[in-house]
Amino acid sequence: MVIKLSNELQRADKGFAGFLKSLTMTDTDRANAANRRVIEYQPCSVDAFFEPNRGVYNAVISGGENRMRVNAMVAQAICAMKNNFPVVILHQGNRELENQMRSTFFGSGKYIEVSSRTPCFEPFFSLNELEIANQILEAAPKEYDIRSSARYYIEGVSGYLNKSGKHLSFNLFSTCPHALLFDKVEDLRLQGRITDAEEQEIKSKLMMGQSENYKLDTYMASLKMEMSSLMYVPRNGQHPTNIISALNDQVVFCIDVTSATNKLLLNTLIFQLKLALTKGLRYTLLVDAIPLNANEAYANYLKTPTDRICTMISSDDFYSMMGGDERAFSTLIGNSQITVVMSHNSGNSATKWAEVFGQYDKYETSYSRSKGTSRRTPFSLFASPHQSSSVSISERREYVVKPEAIMRMGYGEAYVLTAARGELAHLILNG
């Protein structure tokens, strides 16, 4: 595993350069800097904020260039793996993310990629009959109207496959000759591979779930279409995998969902993430640029934080990614231990981040001068001019980071809000 060492954070106000700068500061400048409480740091890698010895963090990365956001996700993944947290990554077509994760973890044998380049996703792999049935019933949207009796049909198909020397898989279920299934069960009995009682048990389960056969077939066909470029097919040179098996293997599991509109695929992945928790598995979840309003199950999952997992959400505009859900935005930011904000094009989003960073009391010094003429005295022939000056200090509330400052940040420039350090840092991120 290629592991980069974290750069040390070095404050910009220290050393000789910091000393020279302090000489030019007025008392008002010092008071404003103290009230604003923004720490200026020397340029460094984002790794410096993800310290494995401090554990794994919930994090939000918003704005800037894709490369910078990817660097942060890699740093989070390294941190998680060093703390024995396997990683699940959900993204849509971020090749730079795949490439950096692959170069970091592939050599360790701790990386699994599911994409059009490596189609190996098998939704049923390593799941038992009950878990498969629950996955279908929970992941299938209401419009498919799949009822609980579908469990019996799934058990019947599974029973037939087991007696045929095969295990239930998505590929086998989706290609099952359902119209011929009763005849095939009877053939097993005629071949002496099952008893009369076993034949009747399998047929009974198939009969009890027969009403859901067509619905199941329709749902399977739709799911198969969504994950066509990702799906494991026997003899394709890949090994079948899914979230559950990857977490059991303690690896980094990176899957390209292709499109946020792939509702059935996302539902399946969210079910497996929740199933993992019921199995006592812990993990770190990295989500890249999948809008919250793309999927109800996905949205509900992200909005219900648990201390069993750590989550990093990355987007070129996190506020827009929330789709107007103010509560979700506040919840996720409130749960974030590290928030990295880079440049944004949207004025609304920039203002939202300015609100997150808060306001402070800013002092402003103003000077005034007045000129006048003094009266002629008995000891002078002419009146003499005079000048007076005064100094006044006013106070007003101002954003710690103004929206326009967020919009005009340069390449790599970032504000980093860290709960552990209790500070807002400003610096240039290298990379």
Q: Report the 10 Å Cβ neighbour count for 372.
A: 9
**Predicted pLDDT at 5:** 35
Q: At what angle do helices 196-208 and 150-163 cross, to 10 degrees?
A: 150
CB 88 within 8 A of CB 246: yes
Q: Given a cut of 80, is residue 323 above it in pLDDT?
A: yes
- Looking up tokens 């026997």 gives 234
Q: How confident is the model at residue 51 (pLDDT cuts 50, 70, 90)?
A: confident
pLDDT at position 305 is: 79
The residue with tokens 């795949």 is: 98
- Is residue 6's pLDDT more than 90? no
pLDDT in tens, 78-89: 999 999 999 999
* pLDDT attached to residue 387: 62
**Between residues 162 and 23, the one the model is more confident about:** 162
C-alpha to C-alpha distances, 116 to 70, 121, 227, 256, 258, nearest whole angstrom = 20, 10, 10, 8, 9
The total of other beta-carbon atoms located within 10 Å of residue 315's CB is 20
Residue 120 tokens, joined: 């190996």
Give the residue-averaged pLDDT of 402-414: 96
pLDDT of residue 22: 53
Q: How far apart are CA 268 and CA 287, in angstroms?
A: 15
**pLDDT tens, residue by residue, 94-141:** 999 999 999 999 888 999 999 999 999 999 999 999 999 999 999 999
Whole-prediction pTM? 0.88
